[in-house]
A and B are shown apart, each in its own frame.
Chain A
Amino acid sequence: MNEELDSQLSAMFDDELPPAECELLARRLSRDEPLKARWGRYAIMGAVIRAERGVRLNAPLAGRVNAVLLAEPALAAQAAPRDRSATRLRWWQPLAGSAVAAGVAAVSILWLRSHTPDAPLAARVISPAAVGSAPAAAPQGEIYTVPVPKPPPALVPSTELANYVVAHSMFSPPVARRNLLSAFMTSEPAAAGTEEPQADVKVIAQ
């Protein structure tokens, strides 16, 4: 007999074996008769140590119970009809799933419709800034405005680029350098358009 297996059996008898190992050993124990006999002797040892007097240690109780249970159906077979009744009740589960999916889709459609530009209520954007910048010919009352796209942020500030060009001016012809600097100045977005960068460039360029 494998000593490790017997050690596990002893620990399992005392409820001191990890559950995963219990599962494996229980499987073996239910089939392995010598192992089961050893298990039975462990129980006898305990009965003797506890001095359970009046209890017959060689009583064929387990054999008698086993003989009675041989005529009984296995429990898994008894449980089968109950499983069938349970499956009968599960017919609504796919329908419930479909209903939930349809509900989510409906909510999504409503939400999207409320956020489309042609939606009459949601598109009415009345902002003080827009009113102030509206041309004089615009009709009074409701003003339909299109949001002004924000300019993409400059990856590198134009001042730094200009400084870079000036610092490396010795490697570029003067005409090209001037063209490049003027291109930087004109391409400066209006929102960020302060005069300070141009002044900086002029100072450095000189």
Chain B
Amino acid sequence: MSADASDLSLVRRVQRGDKGAFDALVLKYQHKLVKLVMRYVRNPAEAEDIAQEAFIKAYRALPQFRGDSAFYTWLYRIAINTAKNAVVSRDRSPVEYDLDRNNNDESYDMQGRMKDSETPEGLVLTDEIRSTVNAAIDALPEDLRTAIVLRELEGLSYEEIAAAMDCPVGTVRSRIFRAREAIDRRLREVFEGGLGRAEELG
């Protein structure tokens, strides 16, 4: 399977004038990009602003993108430069990102939230989404859970997952799809929970 084929097919559509295809790219990479930018600015709202700027710069520069590198590599480079420029222009030093920090450190969450300009309702919704997805993953059969975790957490390809789970690649594809379907059924309930919060998905 050719890597980056899906991104490239969307990129080509954008280059031909289809803005909707760029929307799909933003949806796919927005969280990763914000996470990346948060290595330079810890405030999530500020990181989102920089990520937004990076996406817009990427859109304007897309006619020059020839596909020599993967789209996300190219996008990440734009985001890093945008973040560095933002930090310099605001006369701030980049925040040192502590790679050894335990992700489960609750104090970090609290500190991050103290700086966060997000509304309480937004915080509640983020927590609700997180707990819903985690509960859905816990409820998955073992083979589905292993497949989706190896894919999303370890970033393994279907072929690598097939080798790890000793099953055909087609089975891996089916397991990952079924896992996503099971999680999505619960997630839709959160977004379509009667508060019109689905609009906030982006």
Q: What is A's interface to B at a CB cutoff of 8 Å? A: 6-7, 10-19, 22-23, 25-27, 29-31, 36-66, 68-70, 72, 74-79, 82
Q: Are A54 and B180 in contact (CB under 8 A)?
A: no
Separation of A102 and B23 alpha carbons in the complex (Å): 53
Chain B residues within an 8 Å CB radius of A56: 34, 44, 48, 118, 122, 126
Does B6 belong to the interface (CB within 8 Å)?
Answer: yes
A13–B151 Cα distance when bound, in Å, is 11
* CB-defined contacts of B12 to chain A, threshold 8 Å: 23, 26
Q: How many A-B residue pairs have CB under 8 A?
A: 224
Q: Is B109 part of the binding interface, using a Cβ–Cβ cutoff of 8 Å? A: yes
The CA-CA distance from A31 to B12 in the complex, in Å, is 15
Contact assessment for B130 and A57 in the assembled complex, using a CB-CB cutoff below 8 Å = yes
* Interchain CB contact under 8 A, B202 and A40: yes
Interface of A is mostly: helix
Interface flags for B178-198 (1: CB within 8 Å of A; 0: not) read 001101100110010000011
| Residues of A contacting B34 in the complex (Cβ-Cβ under 8 angstroms) | 55-56, 59, 61
- In-complex Cβ contact of A76 among B3, B15, B59, B191 (8 A): B15
Partner of B55, one of A22, A51, A65, A82: A65
A29 to B109, CA, bound (A): 35
CA distance A10 to B31 in the complex (A): 18
B 1-17 to A, binary, CB cutoff 8 A, 1 in contact else 0: 11111111110111111
Q: Is the CB of A43 within 8 A of B28?
A: yes
CB distance from A33 to the nearest CB of B (A): 9
Using a CB–CB distance below 8 Å, which chain B residues touch chain A? 1-10, 12-24, 26-32, 34-35, 38, 42, 44, 47-48, 51-52, 55-56, 59-60, 62-63, 103-104, 108-109, 112, 118, 122, 125-126, 129-130, 133-134, 137, 148-149, 151-153, 157-158, 173-174, 176-177, 180-181, 183-184, 187-188, 191, 197-202
CB-based contact B56/A69 at 8 Å? yes
Q: Is the CB of A36 within 8 A of B24?
A: yes
Q: Are B181 and A6 neighbours in the complex by a CB distance under 8 Å?
A: yes
Q: Is the CB of A50 within 8 A of B153?
A: yes
Known: A17-B6, A54-B112, A55-B38. A61 touches B17 (CB 8 A): no
Question: B201 to chain A: which residues have CB within 8 Å?
Answer: 37, 40-41, 44, 58, 60, 62
Q: List residues of chain B with CB within 8 A of the CB of A76.
A: 15-17
Task: Knowing A7-B174, A61-B202, A68-B56, say if A47 contacts B20 (CB, 8 Å).
Answer: no
**Cα distance A65–B47 when bound, in Å?**
14
Query: Cβ of B133 and Cβ of A49 under 8 Å apart?
Result: yes
Contact, CB under 8 Å: A65 / B26 = yes
Contact, CB under 8 Å: A19 / B52: no
A194 to B125, CA, bound (A): 110
Give the complex CA separation of A18 and B47 in angstroms.
34
Is the Cβ of B27 less than 8 Å from the Cβ of A36?
yes
CA A11 to CA B27, docked complex, whole Å: 16
Knowing A49-B152, A59-B34, the reply to whether A15 touches B133 (Cβ < 8 A) is no
Q: Decide: A26 near B149, CB < 8 A? Known: A13-B28, A41-B201, A53-B112.
A: no
